[in-house]
Structure 1
Amino acid sequence: MAGKVALLLWGAQTTQLLVEPPWTPPVLWDRVTLTCQGSGTAGAITWYKDGQRWWEEGPDQFRVTESGTYQCDRPGTGRSPPVNVSNDRLVLQVPARALLEGDTVTLRCRGWQDKPVTWVSFYREEKQLQRFRDGTELSLSPLRLHHSGRYRCRGGVHSEVSGRWKESESAPVSVTVRGVPLSGVSVSVQPPGAQVALGDRLVLSCAVATGTGPLSFSWHRGDSWALLGTGPHLELRHVGDNDSGHYQCRASNGDSVAESVPLNVTVLVPVANATISPGALAQPVSTGDPVTLRCSVQVGSAPVTFTWLRNGTEVARGPLLELGDVHVGHSGTYQCLATNQLGQDGHRVFRALSPELALTVTPRRHWDTAVAAGVAGSLLFLVLLVGVIVGWHWWNRLASRKHQERAPPEPLAPPEDGEVLYTHVTRTKRTQGPTRPAPPQDTQVTYAELPGPHG
């Protein structure tokens, strides 16, 4: 059954003839069974013998009773390759399976009906390989691609008719050795880490874990299948900033193709053109003013280190220099130094120094301070004054209102000479008993005439 499976796997998606027992060519005296297999539409099978239609609407499988060349045809997948069932006096047989490089294979030379065979010689093409006085098998181990070719055997076969040993020669048999399918294709890089500085050398290597050759290689980058190289190694002598990307290797041995996982290569760029912002400061800068400086580079691969220098001496690190409220001691010439470490050894340092920035800090003048203090004091005084005025008015209004509510009415002024004062007097008579409404009483009006100045 293993032979059947192997033959089917190596066949294309066409009709195949499986042989049992699995030897090529099969011999009639082995009671050979042929099975027609294919992936096409199921249906009646047509069998052919020696190139002629032999059995229509036949079964999938049958036992051979006559020597000859057989084929089968399945609807949808077509006609199978031919299989020759031999009945010759001397037959050389090879296992009916795929022969892979590195395997061990045995070729056997058999006489008709398994009659004895003496002094057997094996040939490849026209070259004699080995001669045996007693043995009838030739072992090829391990198989190599150069073992492919046409083999035959020659030997002495006993004749039942004459009773003598007669030299016979087999029909040639083709042996095809295939390479082991490729797998485990990988890419390695030098320098390690797949990071290289601009202008450095980069070498990529392709390796195959399993599979036999001869191997061929091709190199590609990114989604483009433009060919970069055809050997197991790809060398970039001086990488440029456009050489970054995903590199991939494809390996083939003629029978199978395998690709590596893409490897990301990064080209590191040295720092260049360091600048300080703001590029100019208001002149002069007075004490107490806040000052912050920022350093940046136009190009450069991370990590980038920033160092601040004042008058050539390091004062701080980082992209920002925050001086806060400056004083006279901050005066000086400032520069920013940007660095990054690249290269195959990781110790090559690239530097970029910014232009100088002069900072002059002057103390604030006393008059400016006095004016500022006077203005602040005046504003505070005005605010307090307005508050006092508003409060005084509000307090006066409140006091006046309360006084009017509590004071008695003012007496009438004495009349002038000759003025008559009329007084309206109303008298009410109180009665005993329950209180009831009193009837209206007479109202008496008294006219008093005040004496004049003379009388």
Structure 2
Amino acid sequence: MVSRAAGAACLGSQLYRPLPNSLLAPPCEPAREVLLLTARPSRPKEGSSMTLTCEVQAASWKPDAQPQFCFFRDSQALWQGWSSSPELQLPTVWREDSGSYWCEAKTSELRVARSPRIQIQVQGVPVWNVSLETQPPGGQVQKGEKLVLVCLATQGTGDITFSWYKGALGLNLETKTQRSLAAKFEIPAVTDSDTEKYYCAADNGYGPSISELVSVTVRIPASHPVLTVRVPGTRAVVGDVVELRCEAQSGSPPIQYRFYHEDVTLGSSSAPSGGGASFNLSLTPERSGNYSCEANNGLGPQRSEAVPLSVTVPTEDRKELLASGILEGLLGTLGPTIIALLVCCWLKKRIGRRPARDPCRSPPSPMAQVSNYVNSAAPLQEQSVYENVNVVSGEEVYSLVYHTQQERQAAVEPQRTHTTDQDASAIYFRLKKASVADVDYEDAM
């Protein structure tokens, strides 16, 4: 604001009062020496600067005269003392700086001149585009925390009066006046009743400007939930469907619930409007143990106390479970042995059905072995017959050897070959990659 120093600060310059015409003209009003005061801008706005210039209009003063200048507004000097500069810079003017301005000048001979008065009206800028903001942002505040309502104006000059209101009926909360475009109102610790709509208004004398409504929600953390296990009968039995009910007595919605069995998540359910939530579970013998639930509405999870549940297995089911357990144990222990026996039986049956020779394989050349019988009328010749059988697994090949005896007659009789009883033994050779590495013997059935 412009300094309001007393007019007596201009030394030797008493505020001029007109004298009667019968008296001589005072020395501060030379007849032909006139001053002119100008202002730039001529209609300044509040908050802006203004420059006053005192110009000498007559040339009767000596060139070497060094006049001193002083500026006034409404009978008060604007600066302390006389100055050699004909200009006065006012950094900031406000609406109350409006009024009547003039200037005076004097020389070393104490000749004083005064300029005509000019009216300067400082223009104010109305408050415009008022808005309300919340801290924390978004209007979401936890119960017990501080809420700050900030009223902002895009433009406006001078002293601005800010007011805050609660609810649609406009309950006035606070009013303050300050020379700024923003003001704050604080609620140190919010409660449930502070959940409401708020707005503010700003006025600098040109009419109030009102903000839009802003919703403030006081959020309450979820309390420790209570878990309830509801069974169809007096006890929990295998096959029953039980209801797990989890509910927090307080807490702002929405609330997300999770259900646990021995700290293993079973599932989740949501309560968009608050309250509790349920989860259905089909019982098996493994479902015995401790159950719990968790409630979370974004302000921190809360866990319930553990609830034990014992699942009863009926007698019939116990017998079935025991039989199935024994069967599973036997299959697990004897399974490989049974499979091996079945494969062996299948292999032997298949060998018995195959023809004497396999056209798909080339039997090796038989190696004749001669046996001499002492009490035989005709010598008998023993022959070996070889036959390859199917590949059982991998690269293994088995060969079947039959032993036959031939009876030799006299030279006059034609040779007859009697295939007598085949030897009841057969020799299997297991070959690996065309070389006999191992020889296994097995009695033919």
TM tier, smaller = 0.3 to 0.5
TM-score (norm 2): 0.48
Higher strand share: 1
